[in-house]
Amino acid sequence: MNPAETAPPSERTRIRRVTENARYERATLHAIIDAAYLCHIAFADAKGTHCIPMACWREGEHLYIHGSNGGRLVRQLLGDTQACITITHLDGLVLARSAFNHSMNYRSCMIYGRFEALTDDAEKRASLARFMDKIAIGRQAEIRPGNDKEFTATTVLRIPLDEAACKVRQGPPIDDAEDMGVQAWVGVLPFTQQRLEPIAAPDCSAPAPGYVRDWLAAA
């Protein structure tokens, strides 16, 4: 492993609580982002500190979001505002022999930095197409693409993955030696983000394409 992947990239991304769960490898970071449709973005403005859920996707070493030009979020994030983006996947409740050793299994990442807008139109169109690919490969060719008004009203923003860290907990509980005689069930109650049967809109008149027919199987 690259030595750069075993240490935090900055002081504020150094995991200080339960350090054995810290992960600094790119592959872990990429997998956590790619498994997510949503991130939470923290930023501050004159009205306070905010935490906003946003759709996200990844291309290489950047995380992307899109938003309305007129919105507060886009204006503020492009005003050289430091942001912190966090993604958390909850994988299970961890039941231990003592109250204190209960925990959760999860995969999370935090990214610090500043967003920039994509100013090149071709690059912006290509990036929005990649976002559509994340939803369903092939769909971009089936729908009406964005017209000039919609395209102009949308800003695509990206933030580099330079200052990022992950935290991952997996596996059974870790009990204290003196608690091993406690007769309680111990283990994990797991969760997963499950896909459910697609729901066609009442006015849908087109047949289901492969990515809809295979939605459950592809999970």
The residue from 90, 116, 160, 168 that contacts its own copies (CB under 8 A) is: 90
Q: Does 204 bind its own copies (CB under 8 A)?
A: yes
The residue from 6, 69, 98, 152 that contacts its own copies (CB under 8 A) is: 98
Q: Does 208 bind its own copies (CB under 8 A)?
A: yes
The residue from 84, 156, 157, 165 that contacts its own copies (CB under 8 A) is: 84
Residues 7-66 touching its own copies, rule: CB under 8 A, are: 11-12, 16-17, 37-38, 40-44, 47-53, 55
Residues 183-202 touching its own copies, rule: CB under 8 A, are: 183-202
Measure the CA–CA gap between 93 and 89, rounded to whole angstroms. 12
Q: What is the edge-to-edge ordering of all strands in the sheet holding 38-45?
A: 22-23, 163-169, 103-114, 82-95, 38-45, 48-55
Classify residue 184 by burial, with Cβ atoms within 10 Å: 0-12, 13-18, 19+: exposed
The footprint of its own copies on this chain (CB under 8 A) covers a number of residues equal to: 91
Closest CA to 13 of 91, 112, 143, 81: 112
Measure the CA–CA gap between 66 and 144, rounded to whole angstroms. 18
Give the three-state DSSP class for 146: coil
- Contact map string, positions 102 to 141, toward its own copies, x by CB under 8 A: x-x-x-x-x-x---------------x---x--xx--xx-
Least CB distance from residue 111 to its own copies, whole Å? 9
Overall residue count recorded for the chain in this entry: 219
Which CB sits closer to its own copies, 2 or 183? 183
Measure the CA–CA gap between 183 and 197, rounded to whole angstroms. 41
The residue from 4, 27, 137, 182 that contacts its own copies (CB under 8 A) is: 182
